[in-house]
Structure 1
C-alpha cells in the first residue's frame, strides 16, 4: 500500500509545457462589454464537439461525465475525441489554421496566451456568474484564465511547486528527513544524504536545472519572470547568479552526476530510486509511486525558502476548459464547461484524474484517494506562501523552458560557465520574444 504524508509549510519556514509560436489566424471572440447577455433555450437541439488529451482511462471518465451531463441536458449531444498530448496540439494547430477548432477544448496553460491573442478562443466574460457559476471558484483561480483582461479559460484543477522526498529511501540509508529551511539548508541536507548513501543514493539533483526554481527565487524578490507585456523581468546577472548556486553542488559531489542522469533518461533520478528528493509539481506523485513500487513512502514538503514571508508560490492550472470563438452554440458550450468544471457529479467521476479540483463544488463531490487528499492538504498548508499567479506564459515559453533545461545539462557536465549559459539564454530569449 502506498503511503504519502504531508509535512506542513511551517516546517519549511517555504509538466510538459510547450509554447512555440504558431502562425495562427482566427476571429476575435469580442470583449465582454460588446457581447450581449447570453440567452439559452434549454430545449434547443444542438451538437457540440469536445476534445481532450489523455488515455483510455480518461476517455472512459469523460464518457461517464457526458452521460451524467445528458441526464440534465438531453438535448445537447456531445461528440468527444481524445489524443495523446503532443498529437492533441498538432491537431489543434491544423484546425486553428483552418478555422475549425472544436466547440469545447481541454486547454493547456502554456498555449492559452497564444490562442487567445490570435482571437481563437471565446470571451467567457458574458457567461460568468450566470451560465458558468463563479461562486465555487476563487478570484485567484478565475484570474488564471485571463489574458489581456479577457477570460478565455476556466481551470479544472490546480497544482503547486513542491519538494518530494522518499522517506523509504532515507530510512534505508539512515538519513534524516528534510526539516525545511532555505536553499543553503537544502543543499546541506542533500550533502548529508549523499554521504549516507555512499555512492548508491544521492540527496537530489541540481535544482538550478529547473526554471521553476529560478522563478520562485525571483518571485521572492517580488518579480515574476515576465511582465504583463511579456518583457523579461530579470537580468543576465540574476540568471548567472542563480546558476552559480549549482556549481558547488557538482564540485562537492553533493548531487547525482549529469552522466548518470543521461543514462537513466527518460526516468528521473527520483523515479529510479537514486535520489531522495525532487522539486516538481505536486501532482507528479502518482507517477513516482507507479515507478518506485508498492510500499514506498513519500513526503510532500514545501520548497526551500528564499525570503521569509514572501509570496513566492502560486497555484498553476493542471488544465483549463476553453471554447472556440467560432462555436455556433456558445451558451450550450458554456453549459458543458460549467458542468465539467463545477458539478459534484463530475467531481465524483474524475476525482483527481485531471488534478486537484479547482471548484469547491466539484471538490466536494470528489472521493479523493490518499494521494489526492495529501495534495489537498499540501496546497492548504502553503496558503501563507501563495501569491497571485504570474501572467499567462508568453508565446514561446515552452521553447525557453527547454533551452533552460539544455543549458542546465551543459552546466552539469561543466562544459560552460554560469555567465556563458546566461548569455546563451538571453540570446535565445531575444529570438523568441521578437519573432
Structure 2
C-alpha cells in the first residue's frame, strides 16, 4: 500500500540550524549471527522520502515490484519536500518514532547516527544487503565512526559544466584543463568574446567545495573526523584572494546574479561555465530551455598533478531507524531499493546515477545521464577516498562561506574581514 502525504504550502525553510535531536535507545542492537528474514512473517514498514509527485510514482512502482517478491511486507510510504521532510524527522526523532526506512541526506548522517537514531547496518552487509554490486568506496560513504549507517543509492562528483552555445558565440574552445589560473584565463577569453552579453563564469572562490578540492590536492582536508579544520587563516586568505581577478570584471557581477534569482547565472545563459556537482545537469538544461540541448562536462582545474582531489559523494542514502521493530525486513527493503535491477529500471537517474552496478546496468540512461557516467569514468585517476561524513554544523559553515563570497563579489567586505568572520563562525560551530 502506498500512502502519499503532501507537504503544506508555505512551510518556512530552516537553514543552517542544527537539529535538536533526542538520542533514542532500543531496537538497534546488532545480532551476533548473520540475520535472516522469515518470508512468511507478516510485516508492516514505514518508508519516508523527499521529492515530488514524479518521484512518488516511481516509489509506488518500486514498492509494487518489491511486493511481487515479498508479498508479506506491507510498505506505507510518505513523502514531503526537502525542508519539510527534515522538519518532520526532527519531530519524530524527539519522540523516538522515526520511520523504519528513510531516504537520507549525507549532511545529516553524522548528527542522527551520533545521537543513536540510526541502525548499525554492518551485520546485514553481505547477506540481506548485497555488497558485491557496491564498490568499497561507495560502501565507505555511509560509515561514521567505523560503523555503517547508510547505503548510498546514487553518487555524484564535482565537475565543470560548460555551455557549448555560448562558447561558440564567444569564439572560444572548450576548456581543455589546466591550473586554476588557466581556468581564470579561459574565463577571461570567453568574457572578452561575449562583448558584454555574458561572462566566462563566476568567482569560484565563493564555493567551499573548490577550496576543499585544493586542500585535498595538498594532502589536507576541510575538517577531520574529529572536527579539526585542515587549514588556517593564511590559507583561506590565499584562496579568497585568488578570486580577485574574477571579481574584477572576468566573472559575472553579483548584481546580475541577484537579478535572475532563484535561477543562477549558468542556467540563465549569463555564464558559460559552472563548477558544481555533476548531477545538476538536468536541472541546468531545464532552466536554459529551448535552444539548449546539451552541455559540456569536463574535469575541474588541477592544483597538483596526480593528486586524488576528487571523490564520489552520495546524492542520497537509505538508512534504517534504530528503533525499528523489523530490522531484517527493513534491510531487505533497503537492499531492493538500492541494488535490485527493478530499482535501476524504475528510478533511472531520478535519484542520481545509481551507485549499485546491478541497478546501473538496468537503468535506461538518457544522453545527459550517459555523459555523467562517462565523466565519472574519465576522472577515475583523480578519485580519492571520500572525506569523513560532514561534521555537525557543516551546513551552517557552507552557507556562511557562500554568503561571504557574495559580499566579496559585491565589494562590501575585504578578504581580511571575510576570513575573520568565517573563523569566528567556525569557532562557534565547532565548539558548540
Map 1:209-358 → 2, pairs under 5 A: 209-251=206-248, 253-296=249-292, 297-358=294-355
Partner deviation per Cα, 1:258-313 (whole Å, 9 max, x = no partner):
11111111111001001100000000000010011234231001000000000000
C-alpha contact 2:204 2:275 (8 A) present in aligned 1: yes
For 2:166, which of 152, 157, 169 is the aligned residue?
A: 169
Given candidates 20, 42, 59, the residue that maps to 1:62 is 59
Q: Distance in 2 between matches of 1:111 and 1:66?
A: 25
Structure 1 equivalent of residue 6 of structure 2: none
Match of 2:132 among 108, 132, 135: 135
Please name the residue that 1:21 is paired with: 18
1:434 equivalent in alignment to 2:431: yes
User: What SS class does the counterpart of residue 201 from structure 1 fall into?
Assistant: coil
TM-score (norm 1): 0.94
Q: What root-mean-square deviation, in Å, do the aligned CA atoms of Structure 1 and Structure 2 show?
A: 1.5
Matched position secondary structure for 2:211: helix
Bigger drift between 257-266 and 291-300 goes to 291-300
Deviation at 1:59, TM superposition (A): 0.2
Q: Matched residues in 2 for 1:19 and 1:157: separation?
A: 25
Select which of 150, 153, 156 maps to 1:156.
Answer: 153
Q: Displacement of 1:29 after TM fit?
A: 6.8
Aligned partners of 2:179 and 2:405: how far apart in 1? 21
> C-alpha distance in 1, partners of 2:269/2:214?
27
For 1:97-138, what per-residue CA distance to the aligned partner results, in whole angstroms no more than 9, with x for missing partners?
A: 111100000000000000000000000011000000000001
Q: For 1:372-416, what per-residue CA distance to the aligned partner results, in whole angstroms no more than 9, with x for missing partners?
A: 111100000000000000000000110001000000011111122
Mapped partners of 1:200, 1:390: distance in 2: 39
2:3 paired residue number: none
Q: CA deviation at 1:236?
A: 1.0
Q: Specify every segment of 5 or more residues in structure 2 that has no aligned partner in the other structure, as ranges.
A: 1-12
Partner of 2:9: none
- Indicate the SS of the match to 2:250: coil
Tell me how far 1:35 sits from its aligned partner: 4.7
Q: Is the contact made by 2:27 and 2:324 (CA closer than 8 Å) also made in structure 1?
A: no
Indicate the residue corresponding to 1:6 in structure 2: none
Does the CA-based 8 Å contact 1:156-1:341 persist in structure 2?
Answer: yes
Offset, 1:43: 0.6
What's the secondary structure of 2:221's corresponding residue?
coil
The aligned residue for residue 39 of structure 1 is 36
TM-score scaled by length of structure 2: 0.95
Corresponding residue for residue 76 of structure 2: 79
How far, CA to CA, are the matches of 2:330 and 2:94 in structure 1? 22
| Alpha-carbon separation, structure 2, partners of 1:151 and 1:294 | 44
Flag structure 1 segments of 5+ consecutive residues without an equivalent. 1-15
Contact 1:202 1:254 in 2 (8 A): yes
CA distance in 2, matches of 1:211, 1:278: 14
Equivalent residue, structure 2, for 1:414: 411
Asked if structure 2 preserves the Cα contact closer than 8 Å seen for 1:241 and 1:418, the reply is no
